[in-house]
């Protein structure tokens, strides 16, 4: 059985085919080249959370459908016990746990992000909306645009994620709560 990360591209392809949307049309909707979109579906290219949001919107489904294969069910409250959120390893050393995946029509996406130090610079991403990060463990280097911020446990940052941004662990593993408001 494929791990959760590799199931996501399969779900995307299956939903696109069910909806009879061509890969070229999906690429156009996302504003990427067709070849890059096809790499998403084959699992050959990293799918940033912002890209997953865009794909979910283009397919008319909740992000949870892409992450789990099931639609969210809760509409009054969603309790997620410690370590029981939907966990996805985006790439080695960077994983996130969705903390509200089972709540219908959510306006924000709270994620617990775990990162490990790496010699490589993290990929810079951008997406719509607003983003808040709160460090719960370790030290995190957060770059927004041309400015770099070093945050320790208890520190936070609220920023415009339409600016290129990325997070990296400094001097050991780190965790931060990321709350993303998508427009």
pLDDT of 74 above 80: yes
Three-state secondary-structure class, residue 35? helix
CB 67 within 8 A of CB 88: yes
pLDDT in tens, 79-115: 999 999 988 877 778 889 999 999 998 999 999 999 9
Q: pLDDT category, 2, cuts 50, 70, 90?
A: very low
Query: Which residues, 6 or more positions from 95, have their beta carbon under 8 angstroms from its beta carbon?
Result: 87, 88, 89, 113, 114, 115
Q: Looking at residue 16, what is its pLDDT?
A: 92
Kindly write down the DSSP assignment for every residue of 51-103, as one continuous string.
HHHHHHHHHTS-HHHHHHSS---BSS-----TT-SEEEEEETTEEEEESSTTB
What architecture is the 107-181 domain classified under in CATH? Sandwich (2.60)
| Entry pTM | 0.80
78, HSE (Cβ side, Cα atoms, 13 Å): 18
Q: Looking at residue 1, what is its pLDDT?
A: 38
Q: Which CATH class is domain 4-68?
A: mainly alpha
23, two tokens: 């890969």
Where are the domains positioned within the chain? Answer: 4-68, 107-181
pLDDT of 4 above 80: no
C-alpha distances (whole Å) from 111 to each of 29, 32, 49, 117, 160 are 26, 26, 10, 19, 17
Q: Which residues pair with 168 in a beta bridge?
A: 141
| Mean residue pLDDT across the chain | 89
Q: What percent of the chain has pLDDT over 70?
A: 96
Q: How far apart, in Å, do the first and last CA atoms of the chain sit? A: 35
Q: Which helix (H) or strand (E) holds 113?
A: strand 108-115
Q: Looking at residue 47, what is its pLDDT?
A: 77
């Amino acid at each position: 059985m494929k791990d959760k990360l590799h199931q996501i591209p399969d779900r995307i392809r299956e939903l696109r085919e069910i909806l009879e949307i061509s890969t070229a049309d999906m690429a156009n909707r996302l504003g990427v080249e067709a070849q890059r979109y096809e790499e998403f579906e084959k699992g050959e290219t990293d799918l940033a959370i912002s890209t997953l949001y865009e794909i979910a919107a283009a397919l008319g489904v909740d992000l949870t459908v892409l992450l789990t294969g099931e639609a969210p069910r809760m509409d009054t409250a969603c309790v997620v016990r410690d370590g029981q959120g939907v966990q996805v390893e985006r790439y080695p050393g960077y994983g996130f746990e969705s903390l509200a995946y089972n709540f219908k029509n959510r306006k924000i996406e709270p994620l617990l992000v775990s990162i490990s130090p790496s010699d490589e610079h993290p990929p810079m991403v951008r997406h719509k909306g607003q983003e808040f990060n709160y460090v719960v463990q370790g030290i995190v280097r957060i770059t927004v645009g041309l400015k770099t911020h070093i945050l320790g446990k208890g520190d936070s940052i609220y920023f415009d994620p339409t600016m290129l941004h990325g997070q990296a662990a400094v001097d050991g593993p780190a965790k931060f709560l990321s709350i993303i408001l998508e427009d």
